[in-house]
Every structure is written in structure tokens, then in C-alpha cells.
């Protein structure tokens, strides 16, 4: 009950009352509904929160699990990408791309070390073999002189290989290591052709050098000479008697394109993407001398000059190597 009192006169008190039963029923019903609704909402919010947190953390957990497996030695492992396109998917995709790159680099390093080991073992075995035979059967001074000569020859081959590898590393370290000289590229190529002409003629090959009088270019003379020599040497080496080798220059205002074409054994489509890798040699050319570093060095030199080198070929018919070089080494010329 709600009751009001009022003193009307000293002897009269007025008392008025109202029954509160209906209000109490309403409040009780309201309390019941409020508690039930709030309990339901709190449970629902906790459930949704837990689900969202799990969903977010599960992606990070997948990355962590993959990283743990990789550190345990399974480099082929990748984080599953759920195609939701959210931040976790982006993290997983970037992580997988990084792993792909690391795996490729490790495979390349392994192949290079295998090749170095293989290419070092053969000459060292030969040097040891010759020394052993001379020691056990050699009688005359002549035998020992032959052993010394053969050792020098093998050592020269080894030194050539080691020096070429060092040169590739140095060249790959960037344009700053190059000297920036003003070169007449056309004259440089003409000289190289003259130098290789006797070798080509001895092999029964015709050689054409179709270059302009002057072709100005800024770069490292020694490096460019080395690159052209490697390409000419290959063209002559891999072209059988009766074939031809042609060198030409095409240029515009910003770049110069040197093409070296031969009518040689060609390169199969399987080998073509790999010939610029260190130590890679196509099967059909194993009978020829070489260590498989010439084209790697040529490409490193072209790239150090902010250019590039590409090869096209028709097996058993022809090969063309195209070197594209910007005329100036200034940094506004990007790699092709």
C-alpha cells in the first residue's frame, strides 16, 4: 500500500491509501524478463566473442604450426589459405610466398654447391692420378716434366673457374662496382670479331660483323668485352663446320641491342630457360670444353649495366642471343 497522511486540524488526521498490488506484479514480471534476456545476451555475446577470437587466432596458429614444422626441417610445408581474403589470409599468402622464395634460393644454392664440388673433384682427381702414376712408374725427368705440365693445365682450369665465379659475384653486387667509360661499342664488337675470326675460319665457319661505324655507349669496357667474347666463343663452339655466325647492332636513342646469331646445334625448349644458371650445361654440349659459367657471367654483366640478355633457338638449326643495354648507366634507366 502507498499511504498519505495530512493533518487537517489538531484533532483530525486524514489518511489516504492506494493498493500497490498491480505495480508489484508488473515489476516482478519486468525483473524476470530482464534477468532472462540479460543472461541470454551475455551467454550469446560470450559465445560470439569466443568464436571470433578462435577464428582470428586459428590463422595465426596455422602460421605458427607451419613455422614450427619448417624449423623441424619440412621446408615443403605451406600455410592453408582459406580464400576469405581477410588479414590472416593475406598474412598466410605472404608467408607462403616468402617460403617459396627461400625454397628456390636454397635449391639453387644446393645445386651450385653440388656443381662446384663436382667440377672441383674431376681436376683434383686427375692431378692426383697423374702424380700417383708418375711417382710409381715415372723414371725419366721427362715423365716428371709431363706431370708438372699437366698439373699446371688443370690448375689453370680450376683458377679460371674460381676467378669466373668471383667475377660473377662481384658483377652481381651492382652497377656501382663498374667503371663508367665512354665506349664505341661498334668498334669494340668489330675488334672482338677480328679476334675470333681465325678460330671460326679454322673450324670452317663464316663470320659476319654487321655493325655501324660508331655506336656510343657508357659502361665498363673490360666487362663488355668479356660478355661479347663469351657469346662469340659459344656461337663458334656450338656451331658445326660449314655454319655461320653473325653479329649485328640495332640502336635507338636510349638503348642498343646487340644480336649474336649462329646456325649451330641450337638449344632445346627444356634447356632454354636454364642456360643462364650457374654451371648449367645442355646434355648435347658436354663433349665441348666449358664449365657452364660463361652465360651466367654474360647475364650478370648485362644486368649490372641495367640491361638484360635473352636467347631464342630452334634446335639443330640456330640460336640467337640478344643483349639489350641502355646507352647510359644513369639510374633513370630501369632493368629491361
List residues near ligand ADP by CB under 6 A: 230, 234-235, 238, 262, 264-267, 275, 280-282, 285, 290-296, 319
Phi, psi of 308 (to 5 degrees): -155, 175
Q: Between 81 and 158, whose beta carbon lies closer to ligand ADP?
A: 158
Q: Is residue 298 classed exposed, middle or buried when 0-12, 13-18 and 19+ CB atoms within 10 A define those classes?
A: buried
Please report how close the Cβ of residue 274 comes to ligand ADP at its closest, in angstroms.
Answer: 9
Q: How far is the CB of 329 from ligand ADP (least distance, A)?
A: 25
Least distance between ligand ADP and beta carbon 272 (Å): 9
Least Å from the CB of residue 230 to ligand ADP: 6
> Rounded to the nearest 10 degrees, how much is the dihedral formed by the CA atoms of 175, 177, 181, 185?
-60
Smallest separation (angstroms) from ligand ADP to the CB of 285: 3
Closer residue to ligand ADP, CB minimum distance, 188 or 275? 275
> Between 113 and 268, whose beta carbon lies closer to ligand ADP?
268
> For ligand ADP, which is the closer residue by CB, 154 or 262?
262
> In the bound complex, which residue of the shown chain has the CB atom lying closest to ligand ADP?
290
Using the structure block, give the residue that is written with the C-alpha cell 663458334. 236
Nearer to ligand ADP, 188 or 235 (CB): 235
Rounded to whole angstroms, how far apart are CA atoms 260 and 262? 7
Amino acid at each position: 500500500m502507498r499511504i498519505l497522511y495530512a493533518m487537517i486540524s489538531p484533532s483530525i488526521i486524514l489518511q489516504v491509501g492506494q493498493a500497490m498490488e498491480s505495480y508489484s506484479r508488473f515489476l516482478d514480471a519486468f525483473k524476470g524478463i530482464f534477468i532472462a534476456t540479460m543472461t541470454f545476451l551475455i551467454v550469446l555475446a560470450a559465445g560470439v566473442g569466443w568464436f571470433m577470437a578462435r577464428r582470428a587466432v586459428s590463422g595465426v596458429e596455422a602460421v605458427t604450426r607451419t613455422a614450427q614444422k619448417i624449423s623441424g626441417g619440412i621446408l615443403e610445408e605451406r600455410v592453408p589459405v582459406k580464400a576469405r581474403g581477410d588479414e590472416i589470409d593475406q598474412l598466410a599468402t605472404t608467408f607462403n610466398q616468402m617460403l617459396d622464395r627461400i625454397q628456390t634460393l636454397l635449391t639453387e644454392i644446393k645445386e651450385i654447391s653440388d656443381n662446384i664440388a663436382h667440377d672441383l673433384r674431376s681436376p683434383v682427381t686427375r692431378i692426383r692420378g697423374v702424380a700417383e702414376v708418375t711417382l710409381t712408374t715415372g723414371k725419366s725427368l721427362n715423365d716428371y716434366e709431363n706431370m708438372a705440365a699437366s698439373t699446371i693445365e688443370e690448375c689453370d682450369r680450376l683458377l679460371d673457374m674460381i676467378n669466373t665465379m668471383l667475377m660473377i659475384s662481384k658483377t652481381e653486387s651492382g652497377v656501382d662496382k663498374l667503371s663508367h667509360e665512354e665506349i664505341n661499342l661498334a668498334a669494340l664488337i668489330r675488334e672482338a670479331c677480328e679476334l675470333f675470326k681465325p678460330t671460326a675460319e679454322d673450324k670452317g665457319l663464316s663470320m659476319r660483323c654487321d655493325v655501324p661505324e660508331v655506336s656510343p655507349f657508357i659502361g665498363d669496357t673490360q666487362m663488355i668485352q668479356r660478355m661479347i667474347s663469351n657469346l662469340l666463343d659459344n656461337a663458334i663452339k656450338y656451331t658445326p663446320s660449314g655454319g655461320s655466325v653473325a653479329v649485328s647492332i640495332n640502336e635507338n636513342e636510349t638503348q642498343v641491342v646487340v644480336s649474336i646469331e649462329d646456325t649451330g646445334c641450337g638449344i632445346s625448349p627444356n634447356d632454354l630457360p636454364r642456360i643462364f644458371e650457374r654451371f648449367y650445361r645442355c646434355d648435347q654440349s658436354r663433349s665441348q670444353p666449358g664449365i657452364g659459367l660463361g652465360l651466367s657471367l654474360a647475364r650478370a654483366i648485362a644486368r649490372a649495366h641495367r640491361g638484360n640478355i635473352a636467347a631464342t633457338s630452334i634446335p639443330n638449326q640456330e640460336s640467337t642471343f640478344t643483349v639489350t643495354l641502355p646507352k647510359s648507366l644513369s639510374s633513370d634507366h630501369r632493368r629491361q
